[in-house]
């Protein structure tokens, strides 16, 4: 057995070896702890993400239920009574009435049935706007904006700079719904005097930007609200955009007088 | 490998004697230390799901890292030592060889992470 003498312990060789070894051990320990910390952070992020997914899913289910309730209410409260009234005009008793009254009843029933047809058409249009299906996003947006302009309360206009190749129908519907939701939010909460929508093309995505001069949201507000229990519409916007891998950015103009909302929708190969 | 071979050739041509072997060993150890540090750097950057100490490669690399760190100064000083001093200090080499062997054994006895993931996949299928 070879034993080192005490005097040798302070030799540069031994001191160097101890120093080097300490450095090596410190490095290994640092790497182990750092990696543990990173993995824990990743796990925490994953948990947060799954929690966010759950919130979005709940919001989307809630919205679906609300939409169903609305359609059910429309059918039950409007279409139901209309058809029941039409049925009343067309009872068997009608044969015993004189010709003029018969004609009047038939005319009334026809009018009511026309009304019911119009109502059902409106419900169907609210589910899937025919302009969007037949003529695309540009026409659907301009149609939607014309209706708002018709009320005279706000000046709303849109300008599509380069929209020759249409997005896929399901994508167009999602973008249209997002635009609808954003416009509704601006109408309800911003107190602005105008909304201006523009569309531009980049290499791999289409960019839609909405300007308004009212009270708006910053991106931090949007993130905060979409994570909280309020702001169902915002959560819905987020979950819709997630489906098409889109992105949204809320910001204020450099002049601090306008608010901007930018939607970035990536294009697929056949949409370029 | 190519770098070490090149270094070896340059040293041999330059000195023309076996003395270059000492220098060669120092350079070799420095290169190994640099490679090990690069491995650790990669492990920090890579987004790993498993902890580093559950990987076989970590134990093997650490075995060599500690061994080379331990004997590094011995290699530098050994040409300057007297014969009896050499015998004294050579104990360091034995100690670190034992440390290296222990770490290598741990690494060898560990289950590789790919095997575990395969088993998990099969479990999920059935």
Strand, coil or helix: what is A265? strand
Tell whether the model's pLDDT for residue A218 goes beyond 60.
Answer: yes
Token digits for B19?
């003395």
Tell whether the model's pLDDT for residue A232 goes beyond 60.
Answer: yes
Chain-chain contact of A17 with B74 (C-beta, under 8 angstroms): yes
pLDDT bucket at B119, cuts 50 / 70 / 90: very low
Place of tokens 């190519």: B2
Chain-chain contact of A2 with B52 (C-beta, under 8 angstroms): no
Q: How far apart are CA B41 and CA B48, in angstroms?
A: 13
What's the average model confidence in pLDDT over A7-12?
66
Q: Would the pTM of this model clear 0.80, i.e. be above it?
A: no
User: In sequence order, what are the beta bridge partners of A247?
Assistant: A264
A interface test, pick of B53, B57, B73 with most A CB neighbours within 10 Å: B73
Chain-chain contact of A17 with B76 (C-beta, under 8 angstroms): no
Report chain A residues whose CB lies below 8 A from the CB of B87. Answer: 2
Using alpha carbons only, give the angle A126, A136, A169 rounded to the nearest 5 degrees: 80
Nearest residue, CB atoms, B44 vs list A12, A16, A31: A31
Chain-chain contact of B44 with A28 (C-beta, under 8 angstroms): no
pLDDT bucket at A141, cuts 50 / 70 / 90: very high
Residue of A nearest to B74 (CA): A13
Chain-chain contact of B88 with A31 (C-beta, under 8 angstroms): no
ipTM of the prediction: 0.76
Mean pLDDT score of chain B: 79
Nearest residue, CB atoms, A4 vs list B49, B77, B91: B91
pLDDT bucket at B15, cuts 50 / 70 / 90: low
Place of tokens 């839609």: A208
Chain-chain contact of A13 with B73 (C-beta, under 8 angstroms): yes
CA of A201: how far to CAs of A168, A195, A209, B94, in Å? 15, 20, 11, 70
More confident residue, A165 or B121: A165
Q: What is the pLDDT of residues A156-185, one digit of tens each?
A: 999 998 888 888 888 898 999 999 999 998
Q: What is the pLDDT of residues B36-71, one digit of tens each?
A: 999 999 888 887 777 888 889 999 999 999 999 999
Angle between helices A232-243 and A12-73 (to 10 degrees): 110
Tell whether the model's pLDDT for residue B73 goes beyond 70.
Answer: yes
Contact A25, B74 (CB under 8 A): no
Q: How many Cβ contacts (< 8 angstroms) between chains A and B?
A: 70
Helices (H), chain B: 2-15, 20-45, 56-77, 83-109, 113-125
Residue of A nearest to B46 (CA): A35
User: In sequence order, what are the beta bridge partners of A156?
Assistant: A195
Token digits for B9?
């050739």
Longest dimension (CA), chain B: 68
**Under 8 Å CB-to-CB from A28, ≥6 apart: which residues?**
B40, B62, B65, B66
Strand, coil or helix: what is B100? helix
Q: What is the pLDDT of residue A159?
A: 92
Token digits for A199?
């569309």
Of A75-84, A245-254, B109-118, give the lowest mean pLDDT range: B109-118
What's the average model confidence in pLDDT over B86-110?
90
What percentage of chain A has pLDDT greater than the value 90?
26
Q: What is the pLDDT of residue A183?
A: 92
More confident residue, B17 or A70: A70
Q: How far apart are CA A163 and CA B82, in angstroms?
A: 86
Chain-chain contact of B73 with A17 (C-beta, under 8 angstroms): yes
């Amino acid at each position: 057995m070879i034993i080192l003498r005490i005097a040798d312990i302070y030799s540069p060789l031994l001191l160097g070896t101890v120093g080097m070894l300490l450095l090596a051990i410190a490095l290994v320990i640092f790497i182990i702890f750092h990696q543990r910390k990173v993995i824990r952070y990743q796990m925490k992020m994953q948990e947060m993400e799954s929690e966010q997914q759950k919130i979005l899913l709940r919001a989307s289910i809630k919205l679906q239920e609300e939409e169903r309730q609305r359609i059910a209410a429309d059918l039950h409260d409007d279409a139901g009574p209309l058809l029941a009234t039409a049925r009343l005009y067309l009872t068997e008793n009608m044969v015993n009435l004189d010709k003029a009254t018969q004609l009047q009843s038939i005319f009334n029933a026809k009018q009511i049935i026309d009304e019911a047809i119009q109502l059902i058409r409106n419900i169907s249009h609210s589910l899937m706007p025919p302009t969007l299906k037949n003529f695309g996003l540009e026409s659907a947006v301009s149609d939607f904006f014309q209706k708002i302009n018709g009320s005279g309360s706000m000046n709303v206009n849109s300008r599509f700079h380069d929209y020759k190749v249409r997005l896929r129908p399901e994508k167009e519907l999602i973008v249209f719904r997002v635009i609808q939701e954003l416009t509704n939010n601006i109408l309800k909460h911003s107190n602005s005097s105008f909304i201006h929508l523009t569309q531009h093309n980049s290499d791999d995505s289409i960019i839609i930007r909405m300007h308004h001069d009212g009270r708006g949201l910053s991106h931090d507000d949007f993130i905060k609200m979409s994570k909280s229990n309020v702001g169902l519409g915002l959560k819905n916007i987020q979950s819709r955009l997630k489906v098409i891998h889109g992105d949204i950015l809320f910001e204020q103009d450099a002049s601090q007088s306008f608010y901007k909302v930018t939607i970035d929708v990536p294009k697929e190969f056949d949409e370029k | 490998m190519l770098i070490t071979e090149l270094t070896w050739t340059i040293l041999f041509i330059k000195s023309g004697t076996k003395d270059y072997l000492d220098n060669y060993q120092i350079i070799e150890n420095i290169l190994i230390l640099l490679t090990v540090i690069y491995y650790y750097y990669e492990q920090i950057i890579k987004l790993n799901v498993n902890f580093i100490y559950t990987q076989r490669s970590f134990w093997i690399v650490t075995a060599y890292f500690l061994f080379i760190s331990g004997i590094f100064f011995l290699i530098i000083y050994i040409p300057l030592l007297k014969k009896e001093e050499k015998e004294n200090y050579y104990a360091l080499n034995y100690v670190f060889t034992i440390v290296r062997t222990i770490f290598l054994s741990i690494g060898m006895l560990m289950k590789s992470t790919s095997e575990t993931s395969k088993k998990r996949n099969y479990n999920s299928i059935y």
